[in-house]
Amino acid sequence: MNFKFRNIKNFNSIYIIYGFIFLLQNTAFSQSDTTKNILNTFIGSDNFRFDSIPNDTSLQLFHIYKDFDKRSIAESFLGNLGSANYSNIYNKQVDDYGLDFLFNKPYDTYLIRPENIKYYNTRRPYTDIYYFSSTKIKDEQSLFFTHTQNVSSKLNVGINYKLVSSQGNYSNQQTKNHGIAGQSSYSADKYSMNFSICYNKFTLADNGGLIDTGNVNINALEAYLLNAETKLSGRYIYLTQKYHIGNYKGMLLNDTVIKIFKPSISFVHNFTHNKSYRLYSDTQNDENNYYNNFYYDIPEQEFSTYDSIFFRNLSNSFGVQSEDSFINKRKFGFDIIYKNELKKYSNFKQYLLFENEHKFIDNSVIFNLFNDKRKKTNLNLYANYYFSGYRSGDMKLSGKITRKFGNTDSLILLRLKLSSINQRPDFFTSNYYSNHYRWENNFTSIKTNKIDFDFSIPRFYLKAGINMSFINNYVYFGKEIVPVQYNKSLNIISAYISKDFNLGIFKMLNKIIWQKVSNSEIVSMPQLSAYNATFIDFRWKSLQVNLGFDVYYTTKYKMYGYNPAIGNFYLDNTTETGNYPFVSAFASGKVKSNVLLFIKLEHANAGLFRELYYNVNHYPLYERMTKFGIRWTFTN
The tens digit of pLDDT for each residue in 83-119 reads 999 999 999 998 888 788 999 999 999 999 999 999 9
Query: Do the beta carbons of residue 238 and residue 197 sit within 8 Å?
Result: yes
Q: What is the C-alpha separation between 533 and 508, in angstroms, rounded?
A: 6
- Residue 139's pLDDT is 78
- Residue 158's pLDDT is 96
- Residue 211's pLDDT is 86
User: What is the average per-residue pLDDT within 463-472?
Assistant: 97
Residue 248 CB burial class (10 angstroms; 0-12, 13-18, ≥19): exposed
Q: What is the C-alpha separation between 228 and 204, in angstroms, rounded?
A: 9
The tens digit of pLDDT for each residue in 393-452 reads 999 999 999 999 988 788 999 999 999 999 999 999 998 988 889 999 999 999 999 999
The tens digit of pLDDT for each residue in 336-366 reads 999 999 999 988 665 555 566 789 999 999 9
How would you label 64-89 residue by residue, b for 16+ Cβ within 10 Å and e otherwise?
bbbbbbebbbbbbbbbbbbbbbbbbb
Tally of CA atoms within 13 A in the half-sphere of 88 that contains its CB: 30
196: number of Cβ within 10 Å: 24
Query: pTM of the prediction?
Result: 0.89
DSSP 266-319: EEEEEEEEEEEEEEEEE---STT---S--SS--TTSS-SEEEEEEEEEEEEEEE
263: number of Cβ within 10 Å: 20
Query: Do the beta carbons of residue 130 and residue 147 sit within 8 Å?
Result: no
- Residue 30's pLDDT is 40
User: What is the average per-residue pLDDT within 158-166?
Assistant: 95
Enclosing H/E stretch for 20: helix 12-27
C-alpha torsion sign, points 278, 72, 92, 622: positive
- Residue 163's pLDDT is 96
The tens digit of pLDDT for each residue in 298-317 reads 655 666 888 889 999 999 99
The tens digit of pLDDT for each residue in 476-527 reads 999 999 999 999 999 999 999 999 999 999 999 999 999 999 999 999 999 9
* Residue 611 pLDDT greater than 80, yes or no: no
Residues listed for the chain? 636
Single out the residue of 522, 527, 531, 616 nearest to residue 577, CA to CA: 616
Which whole-number Å values give the CA distances from 391 to 206, 346, 362, 424, in the listed order? 33, 17, 7, 6
Long-range pairs for 15-24: beta carbons < 8 A, 24 or more residues apart: 17/145, 17/147, 17/159, 17/161, 20/147, 20/159, 21/125, 21/127, 21/147, 21/159, 24/125, 24/147, 24/149, 24/151, 24/157
Residue 393: CB partners within 8 Å, gap ≥ 6?
Answer: 386, 422, 424, 445
Confidence of residue 381 (pLDDT cuts 50, 70, 90): very high
Single out the residue of 383, 331, 320, 393 nearest to residue 362, CA to CA: 393
The β-bridge relationship of strands 75-77 and 85-87 is antiparallel
- Residue 349's pLDDT is 61
β-bridge mates for residue 569, sequence order: 562
Confidence of residue 22 (pLDDT cuts 50, 70, 90): very low
How would you label 21-36 residue by residue, b for 16+ Cβ within 10 Å and e otherwise?
beebeeebeeeeeeee
Which whole-number Å values give the CA distances from 465 to 236, 250, 545, in the listed order? 36, 46, 32
β-bridge mates for residue 559, sequence order: none
- Residue 599: alpha-carbon gap to chain centroid: 25
- Residue 162's pLDDT is 96
User: What is the average per-residue pLDDT within 29-55?
Assistant: 70
Confidence of residue 53 (pLDDT cuts 50, 70, 90): confident
Single out the residue of 412, 443, 409, 415 nearest to residue 429, CA to CA: 443
Q: Does domain 12-635 have CATH number 1.10.1200.10?
A: no
- Residue 628: alpha-carbon gap to chain centroid: 23
Query: Do the beta carbons of residue 81 and residue 173 sit within 8 Å?
Result: no
Q: What is the largest CA-CA distance in the chain?
A: 85
- Residue 36's pLDDT is 55
Is 215 strand, coil or helix?
coil
Query: Do the beta carbons of residue 170 and residue 218 sit within 8 Å?
Result: yes
Spell out the domain ranges in the chain: 12-635
Query: Do the beta carbons of residue 291 and residue 434 sit within 8 Å?
Result: no
460: number of Cβ within 10 Å: 11
- The vertex-473 CA angle with 468 and 479, nearest 5°, equals 100
β-bridge mates for residue 632, sequence order: 129, 595
> Percent of the chain, pLDDT > 70?
89
- Residue 311's pLDDT is 94
Query: Do the beta carbons of residue 403 and residue 391 sit within 8 Å?
Result: no
